[in-house]
Amino acid sequence: MTGTINQMALLAAKDERVREDLIRSQELTILRTASVACHKYIDESDDEWSIALCAFSKAIDLYEEGKGEFLPFAQMIVKRSLIDYYRLQKNAMNEVPIAPYVLEGGGEPEEDTLGAYPAIVKVSQETDDHSLTEEIEAANELLKTYGFRFYDLTECSPKQEKTRQECAVAIRYMLSDEDLRRVMKKSRKLPIKALAEFSGVSRKTLDRYRKYLIMAVLILEGDFPQLAEYLKFVKTAPMQEKTREKAQNPKPKTRFFVAFNAAIRG
């Protein structure tokens, strides 16, 4: 069984469907590991669950046969990610959270072999340009109204190129659809069901990266020119033919969504 999981983890790093199957089969293990690391019961409604889920996915990307059994390795990544999360909760006074890969996706520094890199760049008070710092602080305040903070994104930015493309499709669709953005702002949540139906991006992907997607939509439609530079890939990322077809020919809106949107307008 252990050997099978190890082999599945290696395959999952190259196959998104296998990745989803592996994560789904290990959800109880992820929840148990998160609860132990946090010294409290964690369920799927907690922010710690999203962090643990993303950390487990990152463990798949980092795992190699020479690193021993996959599950103990993944549990270590999950625990360290949660420790970093709690540490970052306490450090906000002197640090500003920003690292290019957090916004751009597509991987992390090579030296981050254990997934413990906190993605924090300290901004000196002596710097002549405070505009980026101000944008981060403003974005952080905006994201707090959605139940998370800017540096929570360090664990949930897309790593694989295919996933970055899928996120780009979802972001583009949100930016092109005022109704969906209105629903998001009213509920303070990503409209996952509707967005999956209209954009063709899987609900699993939208749920896993929902914080990242909310952040990207808010930054790209708001007054955050410097942060938006990190998200240029959204407009330029190539799309696979099937994904492009779905994005260009989205499903029509359901009666339920039209009625729901009319209700929140009123």
Q: Nearest Cα to 50, choosing from 148, 120, 119?
A: 148
The number of residues in the chain equals 266
- In this predicted structure, what is the pLDDT of residue 192? 93
- In this predicted structure, what is the pLDDT of residue 23? 92
Q: Per-domain residue ranges for the chain?
A: 1-90, 161-265
Q: Nearest Cα to 82, choosing from 136, 118, 121, 45?
A: 118
Geometric angle at alpha carbon 25, from 20 and 27, rounded to 5°: 90
**pLDDT below 70 — which residues of the chain?**
1-3, 89-130, 154-155, 237-266
Q: What percent of the chain has pLDDT over 70?
A: 71
- In this predicted structure, what is the pLDDT of residue 92? 45
Distance CA 234, CA 212 (A): 12
- Whether 114 and 72 have beta carbons less than 8 Å apart is answered as no
Q: What's the distance, Cα to Cα, between the start and end of the chain in Å?
A: 55
CATH of domain 1-90: 1.10.1740
- In this predicted structure, what is the pLDDT of residue 97? 45
pTM: 0.53
Structure tokens, 261: 């949107």
Distance CA 123, CA 129 (A): 10
Q: What percent of the chain has pLDDT over 90?
A: 36
